[in-house]
Amino acid sequence: MDEVDFVNFILIIVLLFFLLFIVSAPFIVAYNLFVWLKDSFFPPKIDNKKRQILSNNCNFYSRLDSSEKERFESRVMLFLKEVNFSSRKMLLNNEIKLTVAGVAVSLTFGLYDWNYPLLKRVIIYPSTYFSKITKNKHKGEYNPSFKLIVFSWKDFKHGIKYESDNLNLGLHEFTHALYFSFLKSNSKDAIRFIENFNQILLYLKDENLKNQLLEAKYFRDYAFKNKYEFIAVLIEHFFETPAELKAKFPYIYDNLKVMLNQNPIQLK
């Protein structure tokens, strides 16, 4: 094959790929539209066994009325369809997947944009694990580049079992995933979330208010590491001890209520 033939050959290959793209593009768009319409009008169904698992493992769900439960269930099923689960050194089952999805759906239940666009994978370890990414031992982590959350199942379970100790690994990591996606979004929910959180951060600039927060010893020290940890820890408190948070720092509670469009005091 001389040089001219080779160039022609490459051009033909490029042209063929281009034609293939042109021909297939409308089918891909049509298929995605079909899936979107199907999921919007006929969300994946939940059965009684799965409902029972949600009732046993997700207090947020069990306190909802019947129409809210229906909305919660369809979001859980969509979450499980969108997010890929895997495990290391342990077996994965429906109970684990539904319990994790239940926490994710609880956090964003008040929002229209509830579904974590910057999350595609969840990996479960039995307990604390050594992270190849950070080279440290972890109970959990969120990685926006990999759209990945990793949990130690032991610590995740602790988070949902002890409801008032302000430690909830699931809520913590899902808050990271939510905050990162809202930083990149212009939706109404995202704008309201970011504006109100910036308002909270502004309080921290007031030395008196910051000292009040530190001296109260209510939020663990880790909260003050950076703004990402601060919002994650605030939200753990918002769900676990909402009445105490409102009594101690009403302005923070009110901002969080607007950010998530829900009021956990009514559910507790």
Told to check if 150 binds Zn ion by CB under 5 A, we report: no
Minimal CA–CA distance to 259: which of 178, 188, 197?
197
- Contact between residue 151 and residue 140 where contact means Cβ atoms under 8 Å apart: yes
Nearest distance in Å: CB 71, Zn ion = 28
| Least gap, CB of 90 to Zn ion (angstroms) | 23
Q: How far is the CB of 170 from Zn ion (least distance, A)?
A: 12
Helix (H) or strand (E) holding 130: strand 129-130
Token representation of residue 203: 């309080």
Name which of 46 and 232 has its Cβ closer to Zn ion. 232
Number of other CB atoms surrounding residue 115 within 10 Å: 17
User: Residue 43 CB, nearest distance to Zn ion (Å)?
Assistant: 31
Cα 6 to Cα 154: distance, rounded to the nearest angstrom: 60
CA 72 vs. chain centroid, Å, equals: 15
User: Whose Cβ is closer to Zn ion: residue 80's or residue 168's?
Assistant: 168
Number of residues that bind Zn ion (CB under 5 A): 2
Report 175-234 residues binding Zn ion (CB under 5 A): 229, 232
Query: For residues 98 and 232, which CB has a smaller minimum distance to Zn ion in the complex?
Result: 232
Q: Closer CB to Zn ion, residue 143 or residue 262?
A: 143
164 phi-psi bin (left φ>0, alpha ψ -120 to 50, beta other): alpha
Provide, rounded to whole angstroms, the least separation between the CB of residue 135 and Zn ion.
17
Q: What is the DSSP string of 137-173?
A: EESEEEETTTTEEEEEHHHHHHHHHSTTSS--HHHHH
Shortest distance, position 172 Cβ to Zn ion, whole Å: 5
- Asked if 180 and 118 count as a contact pair (C-beta separation under 8 A), the reply is yes
Taking the least distance from each CB to Zn ion, the nearer of 113 and 229 is: 229
CA distance 116 to 113: 8
223-242 positions binding Zn ion, by CB under 5 A = 229, 232
Q: Which lies closer to Zn ion via its Cβ, residue 60 or residue 179?
A: 179
How is residue 96 written in tokens?
């684990």
- Which parts of 42-168 fold into alpha helices (H)? 48-57, 59-62, 66-82, 94-107, 153-161
Q: Which is nearer to Zn ion, 53 or 232 (CB)?
A: 232
Instruction: Tell me the per-residue interface mask from 99 to 118 with Zn ion, x by CB under 5 A, - otherwise.
Output: --------------------
CA gap 204, 198 in Å, rounded: 10
The residue whose Cβ lies closest to Zn ion is 232
Q: How far is the CB of 63 from Zn ion (least distance, A)?
A: 26
Binding interface with Zn ion (CB under 5 A): 229, 232
